[in-house]
Amino acid sequence: MPVLRSAFIALSRNRNLRSFAEKSSIGNKLSSRFVAGLEISDAMRVAESVNRQGMHVTLDSLGESVTSEAEAHKAAGVYHRLLDEIAARKLNSNVSVKLTQMGLTLDPQLAGTIAESLAEHARSTGNFVRIDMEDSSLTQITMDIVRRIHAKPGLNSAIGIVIQSYLYRSQADVEQLIADGIRIRLCKGAYKEPPEVAFPKKSDVDANYLKLTWMLLQSPVYHGIATHDEKVIEATKSFARQHGIAPSRFEFQMLYGVRRDLQRQLIADGYNVRVYVPFGREWYPYFMRRLAERPANVFFIAKNLLRK
Ligand SMILES: Cc1cc2nc3c(=O)[nH]c(=O)nc-3n(C[C@H](O)[C@H](O)[C@H](O)COP(=O)(O)OP(=O)(O)OC[C@H]3O[C@@H](n4cnc5c(N)ncnc54)[C@H](O)[C@@H]3O)c2cc1C
């Protein structure tokens, strides 16, 4: 793993810096490139604007690893409000949820119950809950929870999962999830993982991403190809063309503020695009992972800040 990437991932876990950054107004300004704002109203405004550009949205209320049951319920409350607001405003948006924010590391049963109630709520408004994937110590329990909820009567179209191509286990997981008929978002993976569980070389992560993409595109389920990698996007488009897979059968997904040119181009070419829109006060770890992916973003953000 390149030194800068490791450094930013280490910084993403630094509590003092986090607490300072999230409270400072300059920090909030810095993060605005990748984060919609601090409040639900900010998320609604951005979602409406993204929808107007012809793109779908998934909303992420930022926050990870709560330390009490009360905090988990509070975080779930925000998602219930989001589902109601999305329905009331007729937005084209679903929600993305981290199970650690729902108490996974305190009590997996608590996180499972909360996720199920969110899936029930989503079903009642014709919506969908995507469970984000976190570090590899949580992959199996996340799979178990999503598969259990998906198997409940009426919930099969209300919940989906994320798979990371950097993990060795992902091919087997994709096979299992396709057999279950569960919607998958495929990404490369954003956490720091040891070579025992994840491909250390980026070229292997990319090759596995393509292999898994072929599996998803050939399955009858509607999946999300979540990447800003132009080579992967081009390869996906040509694979779909060659195999007669219509653009309506899958979607590309990208992060808010990243490669907006590419997002617009895909829409113009007739593809479905979903933008992942995070918001909330706990933006620091998310923001630092975005810097880890592309350390040049530091200069880019600093330049924009000076311009304002
Ligand atoms: C919609 C969505 C949801 C995601 N959900 C999860 C999840 O649940 N769990 C998880 O572990 N990871 C998640 N990720 C993050 C993902 O795992 C990668 O860390 C991230 O997308 C960067 O990988 P890439 O596929 O864009 O390819 P890379 O090979 O990293 O990048 C390809 C090119 O994309 C551009 N690019 C990539 N990242 C940035 C950036 N931050 N800023 C500017 N340009 C950039 C650059 O031009 C780069 O050269 C998600 C990503 C997306 C798009």
Q: What distance in Å separates the CA atoms of residue 256 and residue 276, rounded to the nearest whole number?
A: 6
Q: Where are the domains of the chain?
A: 1-35+283-308, 38-282
Measured in angstroms, how far is the CA atom of residue 227 from the centroid of ligand 1? 5
Within 13 Å of residue 85, how many CA atoms lie on the same side as its CB? Answer: 17
Helix, strand, coil share of the chain (percent; to 5): 55, 15, 30
Measured in angstroms, how far is the CA atom of residue 293 from the centroid of ligand 1? 7
Residues with CB under 6 A from ligand 1: 132-133, 162, 164, 185, 187-191, 226-229, 253-255, 258-259, 276, 290, 293-294, 297
Q: List the end-to-end C-alpha distance of the chain, in Å, as a whole number.
A: 34
Q: Where are the beta strands (DSSP E) in 141-249?
A: 159-164, 183-187, 223-226
Q: Tens of pLDDT along the chain (308 residues)?
A: 577 888 888 888 888 888 888 888 888 888 888 999 999 999 999 999 999 999 999 999 998 889 999 999 999 999 999 999 999 999 999 999 999 999 999 999 999 999 999 999 999 999 999 999 999 999 999 999 999 999 999 999 999 999 999 999 999 999 999 999 999 999 999 999 999 999 999 999 999 999 999 999 999 999 999 999 999 999 999 999 999 999 999 999 999 999 999 999 999 999 999 999 999 988 888 988 888 888 888 777 776 666 54
CATH of 38-282, one of 3.40.50.300, 3.40.50.450, 3.40.50.2300, 3.20.20.220: 3.20.20.220
Q: Which residues are catalytic?
A: 132, 185
pTM: 0.94
Mutate to test the pocket of ligand 1, among 170, 228, 272 (most ligand atoms within 8 A of CB): 228
Least Cα distance to 181 among 155, 204, 200 occurs for: 155
CA distance readout (Å), 54 to 49, 58, 132, 211: 9, 14, 24, 29
